[in-house]
Amino acid sequence: MASSDASVAAKSARVDLIRRNLVEIVTEEEMIKILETKKPKAYVGYEPSGEIHLGHMMTVNKLMDLQEAGVDIVVLLADVHAYLNEKGDFDEIREVAEYNRRAFIALGLEEDKAEFVLGSEFQLERDYVLDVLKMARLTTVNRARRSMDEVSRRKEDPVVSQMIYPLMQALDIAHLEVDFAVGGIDQRKIHMLARENLPKLGYPSPVCLHTPILLGLDGEKMSSSKGNYISVRDSPEVVNQKIRKAFCPEKQLEDNPIIQIAQYHIFPRFDKFVVERPAKFGGDVEYETFEELSKDYAAGNLHPMDLKLSIANYLNKLLENTRRRLEESE
């Protein structure tokens, strides 16, 4: 009986780990069934980016959770997608993709348990291209455009490549033979397109795991052009400077980027969070859960600057090994 109870507890802990800090699972029932019947495979696709930042780390953290839960991981370095989305020529994109691979490993992905795949390794094959054409016959122009609106560089004057992009992203799931598609909630429309149309082509429908979208440090949408993010290559001094200037309204939990960093980056990776402050301001205070921190902050018991200074300290602890590993891999 004790052995049975332990097994149930282990299964519950596994599901809780996968569920942690997700906006939604489509659908949880399907996910649990897969977990019970096979060793699943999950993937995230990344357009190669010049800077890997806290926004990317949202899905990297989830991949790490999935690895801990015994799920195999595929990381798609989507060079063809990046080309379609006007991110440079193939030589430039592939050079950046290699940096991205090293950055994800430096962040903590277990290299021997993760497969890194360039899109061009399979997306130019005959069967894949034929599937793109078949998917095109199933998808309206409006549906394809809506699916790309969140991630496209050109919303006002779209080009045809933007219509191809979501069809390919749906087919990546099938051709990589993954069970779980992981992505930010901005990927939802593309994932729903995959769930609806892949079965029509004879492929299974994926389970979709959606993470929140991290705000930029100014409280607006994160953007490379605005520089309102923290890169894994930022020095401790730059991290401190950016966090001190960040938007962090007193007592406000919603739409607060510093609170988001605490929730999604600090508490999942540290057993406790200590805010250091002078005795005249109440002395040090220790939090074991995000709920404890958020309750204190909303009540006004924690000043924004005290929170910022401690967040910067923990972020630098988190990024210290990443910076070192990146330097060693060069």
Instruction: Choose the final residue of a domain: 149, 177, 211.
Output: 211
Q: What is the mean pLDDT of residues 292-299?
A: 97
pLDDT 10s digits, 222-267 = 887 788 999 999 999 999 999 999 999 999 999 999 999 999 999 9
The pLDDT of residue 10 is above 60? yes
Same domain, 120 and 253: no
Mean pLDDT of 146-166: 74
CB 232 within 8 A of CB 106: yes
Are residues 24 and 166 both part of a single domain?
yes
Q: Which residue has the tokens 């190669």?
A: 48
Average pLDDT, the chain: 92
Q: Which of 248, 212, 216, 200 is nearest to 59 (CA)?
A: 212
CATH number at residue 250: 1.10.240.10
Q: Are 29 and 175 in the same domain? A: yes
Is 42 within 8 Å of 171 (Cβ atoms)? no
Residue 326 has pLDDT above 90, yes or no: no
Residue 76 counted as domain residue: yes
SS3 of residue 287 by DSSP? strand
| Dihedral angle sign, alpha carbons of residues 232, 236, 237, 239 | positive
CA distance to 63, 124, 245, 280, 307, per residue, from 311 (Å)? 23, 44, 12, 21, 6
99 and 143 together in one domain: yes
For 17-45, the pLDDT digits (tens) are 999 999 999 999 999 999 999 999 999 99
pLDDT at 173 > cutoff 90: yes
77 occurs within a structural domain: yes
What is the CATH number for 177? 3.40.50.620
The angle formed by the CA atoms of residues 111, 113 and 117, to the nearest 5 degrees, is 70
In terms of domains, do 148 and 275 share one?
no
Q: What does the pLDDT read at residue 249?
A: 97
pLDDT given at position 139: 93
Residue 39: is it exposed, middle or buried by C-beta count within 10 angstroms (0-12/13-18/19+)? exposed
How many domains does the chain contain in total? 2
Inter-helix orientation angle 161-175/141-148, to 10°: 80
- 28 plus 140 within the same structural domain: yes
Is position 228 within any domain? no
> 62: domain range?
2-211
| 263, two tokens | 């929730």
Q: Are residues 11 and 123 in the same domain?
A: yes
Q: What is the pLDDT of residue 153?
A: 55
Q: Do 52 and 200 share a domain, yes or no?
A: yes
If asked whether residues 23 and 149 sit together in one domain, one would say: yes
pLDDT-above-90 percentage for the chain: 77
Is 240 found in the same domain as 206? no
3 band by pLDDT with thresholds 50, 70 and 90: low
Give the angle 62-64-69 at the CA atoms, nearest 5°.
95
**Chain centre to alpha carbon of residue 27:** 18
Does residue 294 belong to any structural domain of this protein? yes
DSSP, residue by residue, 140-203: -HHHHHHHHTTT-S-SSS--THHHHHHHHHHHHHHHTT-SEEEEEGGGHHHHHHHHHHGGGGT-
Query: For residue 225, is it within any domain?
Result: no
Q: Which helix (H) or strand (E) holds 210?
A: strand 207-211
* Structural domain contains residue 218: no
Q: To 10 degrees, the CA torsion angle through 227, 77, 324, 61? A: 80
Kindly state whether residues 167 and 24 are assigned to the same domain.
yes
Mean pLDDT of 281-300: 95
Instruction: State whether 79 and 31 are in the same domain.
Output: yes
CB 311 within 8 Å of CB 266: yes
220 in a domain, yes or no?
Answer: no
286: burial class by Cβ within 10 Å (0-12, 13-18, 19+)? exposed
In a domain, 270, yes or no: yes
